[in-house]
Amino acid sequence: MADKLHFSLVSPAKEVFSGEVDHVIAPGSEGEFGVLVNHAPFMTTLKNGVVRVLENGTTKMRIFVRGGFADVTSEGLTILAEEARLLEDVTAASVQEEIDATLLKIQSLDKDDSARITLQEHFDYLESLKAALVH
């Protein structure tokens, strides 16, 4: 395959990945979808899940994202995620630690505190990240 897909994944904290790849599979809110080079313009929201980057048919990288958007244009694929982590960087133990810490924080806040909702989202993200690690 001569042509490659330009793929970039950015989160508010940093640009997680940017480069040329063969194939990307992302968890759209209406179902998982794959993007190859010269894909038709396409835009969708994402759900929590794993974005897989494939090179020559094998998975090269797995990135766990929380929420966000995928935008496919003639120039390539851009994923805007609220949170993103490389799966190889996290372990089940470290995620469990974070889950416990977040749970403590949630319990210390009032029910109607807006920060609580934000933390709850973070908590859900960590829970599904834990689930993804098992597989």
Partner 1 sequence: MPSLKDLKNRISSVKSTRKITKAMQMVAAAKLKRAQEAATASRPYAERMASVLANLSASAGAGGPKLLTGTGSEDTHLIVVLTAERGLAGGFNTYVVKLAKQKIGELRAEGKTVKILTVGKKGREQLSREYGDLFVGHADLSGVKGGDFSESAISLGKKLTKDFEAGEFDVATLIYSQFKNVLSQVPTAQQMIPASMPAEAEDAKVGNALYIYEPSEEGILETLLPRYINTQILSAMLESAAGEQASRMTAMDNATNNAGEMIDSLSLQYNRARQAQITKELIEIISGAEAL
Q: Is 102 in the site for partner 1 (CB under 8 A)?
A: no
Q: Which stretch binds partner 1 (CB under 8 A): 34-42, 51-59, 89-97, 123-131?
A: 34-42
Cβ–Cβ < 8 Å for 28, 70: yes
Q: What angle do CA 17, 22, 23 make, to 5 degrees?
A: 80
Q: Is 124 in the site for partner 1 (CB under 8 A)?
A: no
Q: Which stretch binds partner 1 (CB under 8 A): 68-76, 85-93, 94-102, 127-135?
A: 68-76
Residue corresponding to tokens 């038709």: 40
**23, exposed or middle or buried, with CB in 10 Å at 0-12, 13-18, 19+?**
buried
Q: Is 40 in the site for partner 1 (CB under 8 A)?
A: yes
Q: Is 108 in the site for partner 1 (CB under 8 A)?
A: no
Name the residue nearer to partner 1 (CB basis): 55 or 113: 113
Q: How near is the Cβ of 52 to partner 1 at its closest, in Å?
A: 19
- The sign of the torsion formed by the CA atoms of 87, 35, 60, 13 equals negative
Residues sharing a CB contact under 8 Å with residue 30, sequence separation 6 or more, in sequence order = 44
Interface contacts to partner 1, rule CB under 8 A: 8, 10-15, 28-30, 40-45, 69, 71, 73-74, 78, 80, 82, 114-115, 117-119
